[in-house]
Amino acid sequence: MLTRRKMLEAQERAAAMLDRAGIVLADKERLEIEVADLGLGDLQKSGLQVVTYINTDRYCAKELVMFPRQTCPEHRHPTIGDQPGKMETFRCRWGKVWLYIAGEHTPNIRAQLPEGDQGYYTVFHEIELNPGDQSTILPGQLHWFQAGDDGAIFSEFSSSSRDELDLFTDPRIQRIPVIQPD
């Protein structure tokens, strides 16, 4: 679990990265940056920081901030009732991110698989996103991503988001953050 102190530190670090990239948040948004350690207990290795601008039953927009080499583990967005799974477009704004999907295994992928968790990664077709590049993930499509050496900031434009329903390959993962008092 994430301690409150670690959460606040990560919020400050993410806010500073956004400042440096010229992306302006409202004061309230800075205080509410979501810090997701995914229950794995090592935020710098696996996790992400999220600013949700808007999430309606029709569309969603977020800014994702990732620290250097931080990884969002492999997952997919399932069908919900009669609604197809979430579809999402990642657009890199700052830094670099490598995105992995099913398809031809890219030789010598650039991401480093999180130590000890290698068994929970199964798709290795690499897409490199630099500022101005974007890529769309289709409903149900397995994917994971890792920031480059300086970290990354990218926008996520998508259909309605219900993060709590994401299906991760690693069964230990809890998508919704649990914050522990210090």
Tell me: does residue 89 bind a second copy (CB under 8 A). yes
Least distance in angstroms from the C-beta of 59 to a second copy:
4
Closer Cβ to a second copy, 63 or 126, answer by number = 63
Tell me: does residue 77 bind a second copy (CB under 8 A). no
Output the six-digit token pair for 56.
């309606």
Tell me: does residue 134 bind a second copy (CB under 8 A). yes
Tell me: does residue 53 bind a second copy (CB under 8 A). yes
Least distance in angstroms from the C-beta of 26 to a second copy:
4
Closer Cβ to a second copy, 87 or 167, answer by number = 87
Least distance in angstroms from the C-beta of 153 to a second copy:
11
Binding residues vs a second copy (CB under 8 A): 21-26, 29, 53-54, 56, 58-61, 87, 89, 91, 93, 131-134, 136, 155, 157-159
